[in-house]
């Protein structure tokens, strides 16, 4: 996979993706996504580091340029992991509806989401 989720896109596509979401700040220690909950949102990390945890055990750390929460939306499933902010986070928040709309409108976005989801599930 590319170093950043955004590496797969042109500057125009990045602007379109970013404009579709809402910038949010999440304090250190907060958990914007919980394991075994419905897939109602996804985030692109602009700044900061998160711990990805399954059953309380860290399975990965992700940072700037990574997307989180996409796999459950792509797979129409419950969350497979929780995300915990290890530092204060700057994120772009997307609703599940926005993720699906971007996937329909932008084949490159759909392909990038699917690539991330495949890579993450292959590593488990």
What does the pLDDT look like over 74-120, one tens digit per residue? 888 889 899 999 999 999 999 999 999 999 999 999 999 888 877 77
Strand segments, DSSP code E, in 1-124 are 22-26, 41-47, 49-54, 57-63, 67-68, 82-85, 89-95
What does the pLDDT look like over 32-75, one tens digit per residue? 999 999 889 999 999 999 999 999 999 999 999 999 998 888 88
pTM comes to: 0.89
What does the pLDDT look like over 64-73, one tens digit per residue? 999 999 888 8
Class of domain 24-122: mainly beta
Token pair, residue 98, equals 């926005």
Distance between CA 11 and CA 26 in Å, rounded?
26
Query: What pLDDT was estimated at residue 1?
Result: 43
Residue 26, C-beta contacts closer than 8 angstroms, at least 6 positions apart: 32, 48, 85, 88, 89, 91
Q: Where are the domains of the chain?
A: 24-122
């Amino acid at each position: 996979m590319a170093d950043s989720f955004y590496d797969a896109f042109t500057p125009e596509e990045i602007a379109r993706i970013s404009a579709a979401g809402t910038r949010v700040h999440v304090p250190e220690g907060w958990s914007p996504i919980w394991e075994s909950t419905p897939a109602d949102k996804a985030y692109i990390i602009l700044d900061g580091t998160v711990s990805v945890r399954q059953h309380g055990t860290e399975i990965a750390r992700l940072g700037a340029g990574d997307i989180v929460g996409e796999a459950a939306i792509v797979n129409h499933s419950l969350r497979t992991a929780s995300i915990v902010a290890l530092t204060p986070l700057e994120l772009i928040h997307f609703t599940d509806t926005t993720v699906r709309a971007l996937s329909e409108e932008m084949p490159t976005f759909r392909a990038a989401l699917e690539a991330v989801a495949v890579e993450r599930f292959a590593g488990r």
